[in-house]
């Protein structure tokens, strides 16, 4: 099997998902966040894993000057269209509007939920799977706020 790299050494690339330590990054606990989705880095080396996957060593200057291994599917060219997202998996959010499914209100204004997944394509707006109580909803970013944003507005 011949693997043709999409990127070359010194290419600027953007990581399209959060990168966490899978146990191979020294000095960090397994599961620790290493690089945030949307960060730009530079390809320093291209290697092969299990003879069928390209792994790029990418130098992320803004993410603590880290060199992290990334799969090709996790990278896009740095100059490709990109819309950053406000929330990440595990973040608490508040509904700015009532959310309904089939005409039935599933979450009221001010309901607190937890982001379960970030759903995005690089050229479109971001949606999230948000758990409100026992109800999982697909919610556009525009109708969510951070609980801290709401608290700061109500205190001032």
Give the whole-angstrom CA distance, residue 29 versus residue 45: 24
Whether residue 40 is found in the same domain as residue 72: yes
pLDDT attached to residue 156: 43
Q: Which domain holds residue 21?
A: 12-77
DSSP 8-state class, residue 64: T
Domain count, the chain: 2
Give the whole-angstrom CA distance, residue 15 versus residue 79: 12
Q: Is residue 34 in some structural domain?
A: yes
Whether residue 64 is found in the same domain as residue 99: no
The answer to whether residues 137 and 101 touch, using CB atoms and an 8 Å cutoff, is yes
**128-146, pLDDT tens digit by residue?**
999 999 999 999 988 999 8
Q: Is residue 85 in some structural domain?
A: no
Domain CATH for 120? 2.30.30.140
* pLDDT beneath 70: ranges in the chain: 1-2, 121-124, 148-156
Whether residue 68 is found in the same domain as residue 116: no
Q: Is residue 45 in some structural domain?
A: yes
């Amino acid at each position: 099997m011949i693997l043709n790299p999409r990127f070359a050494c010194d290419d600027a690339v953007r990581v399209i998902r959060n990168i966490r330590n899978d146990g191979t990054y020294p000095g960090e606990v397994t599961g620790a966040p290493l690089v945030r989705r949307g960060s730009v880095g530079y390809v320093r080396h291209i290697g092969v894993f299990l003879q069928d996957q390209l792994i790029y060593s990418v130098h992320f200057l803004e993410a603590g000057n880290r060199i992290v291994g990334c799969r090709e599917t996790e990278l896009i060219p740095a100059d490709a269209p990109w819309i950053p997202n406000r929330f990440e998996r595990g973040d608490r959010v508040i509904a700015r509007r009532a959310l309904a499914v089939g005409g039935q209100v599933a979450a009221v204004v001010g309901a607190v939920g937890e982001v379960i997944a970030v759903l995005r394509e690089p050229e479109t707006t971001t949606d999230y799977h948000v758990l409100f109580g026992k109800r999982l909803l697909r919610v556009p970013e525009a109708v969510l706020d951070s609980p801290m944003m709401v608290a700061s507005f109500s205190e001032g």
